Structure 1
C-alpha cells in the first residue's frame, strides 16, 4: 500500500524542480526548513476548521511532502548530502508529522484520537530508523509510510470540505483513527520483519 515504492518515478518528476532550486541557490537544509514551515502553516489551517481552511491545509501538506523529496534530491545533485543534513531532515519531518496531526486533532476537538495517531506515526518512523541502526538498511515499507500519510491527509483535507461527517463522525476523526490503528500495525510489521531478518542472519 505504500507510495514509497514510487520514489523512482517521483525522482524523475522532481528533476525540473531540482534544477530550479540549484539555480536559485537553495540549499537542502533551507528546503527542509521551508517544508517544516509549510507543515506548521498546514496545522494552523486545519485548526481553523472551516472548509476553505481545510483545503488550504491540504495544499500545504502536499507542498510539504514535495519539498521533503526535493531536499534530498538537491543534496545529491549538488553532492552536499551529509549526516548532519540527514539528521535535520528526519527531526523536522517528525516535528512536521506531530504538528500536522495536532492541527487535525485540534480542528475536530479530538485529542485522544490525535494522541493515538501521533504515537502510531512516530513509532512507525522510529522503527524505520532503528532497523537501519541495527544494520538492516533504512525501512520505508509496511502498511503505511510517510508518503501515504501525507497523501491521505491532503485527500481528506479536500474531501472534508465537501463531506465533513460520515457515520456520525467527522472525516478527519476517521482519518486520525485510521492512522492510530494502521500506524501501530505498520510499526509492528516493520519490527517483525526486521526481527526475522536478524534471526536468519544470526
Structure 2
C-alpha cells in the first residue's frame, strides 16, 4: 500500500498550482526542471546537516514531490501531454532521487548506506518503467513508491532538525532512513518483478 493510490485526491488539489503555472507562462517541462532544481536545493541543505537546513530541506523535498504532480496536471489541462514530457519527467525524477539521497548521505558521512539506498531506489523506479516498456502497464505499487519515499524524506528532515543523536543500534534518524530506503527499496523492486513476471 503506497501513497500513489491517493493521486486522484491530490489531482483535485492541484488546480490553484496549475493556474499559477499558467499565469507565470510555464510549460510542463519547465515545471519539471523547476522541481528538479528544488530537489538540488534540498540536497544541498541536507548536506549541510544543520537543524535549520534540515528543516528547509524537508520543505524543499515536499515541494519537489508536489511540483512533480503539477507538471503532469498542467500538461493534461493544456492538452499537451507527450511522450517527450513523460520521458523528461522520469529522468529528472531519478536524478532528484539521487541528489536528495546524496545530500542526506554527505550530511552524515554514511556513504556505504547511501550507496545501498540509492541503488534500492533506482531499482524500484527501473522496475516500474521496465514493466511499462514490456507492455504490462506502469507499476506504482509495492512497499515503497516515490510518493512514500518523498514523504519519508520530508518527515526525516523535520526529525533531523530536532535531533541527530543515535536512536537505534547507534544509528541516527538519517542513517535509519538510508537503511530503510536500501532494504525496502530492493524489496519493492523484487515485489514489482515478481508481480510483472506472473503477468508475462
TM category, shorter: over 0.9
Matched positions, count: 198
Task: Specify the alignment match of 2:187 in structure 1.
Answer: 185
- Mark the runs of 5 or more structure 2 residues left unpaired by the alignment: none
The two structures, once aligned, show a CA RMSD in angstroms of: 0.7
Deviation at 1:128, TM superposition (A): 0.2
SS at structure 2 position matched to 1:183 = helix
Aligned partners of 1:155, 1:95: CA distance in 2, in Å?
21
Deviations 1:125-153 (A, max 9, x none): 00000000111100001000000000000
Cα displacement (A) at 1:163: 2.8
Where do 1:1-202 residues align within 5 Å? Answer: 1-165=1-165, 166-167=167-168, 168-198=170-200
Deviation at 1:76, TM superposition (A): 0.4
Where structure 1 has 5 or more consecutive residues not aligned to the other structure, the ranges are none
Q: Tell me which stretches of 4 or more aligned residues in structure 1 moved more than 3 Å.
A: none
CA shift digits 1:32-64 (9 cap, x unpaired): 000000000000000001111000100000000
Q: Cα distance, 1:124 vs. partner? A: 0.2
TM-score after normalising by structure 2 = 0.97
Kindly provide the CA deviation profile for residues 77-118 of structure 1, in whole angstroms up to 9, marking residues without a partner as x.
001111111111100000000000000000000000000000
Taking the aligned partners of 2:22 and 2:79, their CA distance within structure 1 comes to: 11
For the residue of structure 1 that corresponds to 2:14, the secondary structure is helix
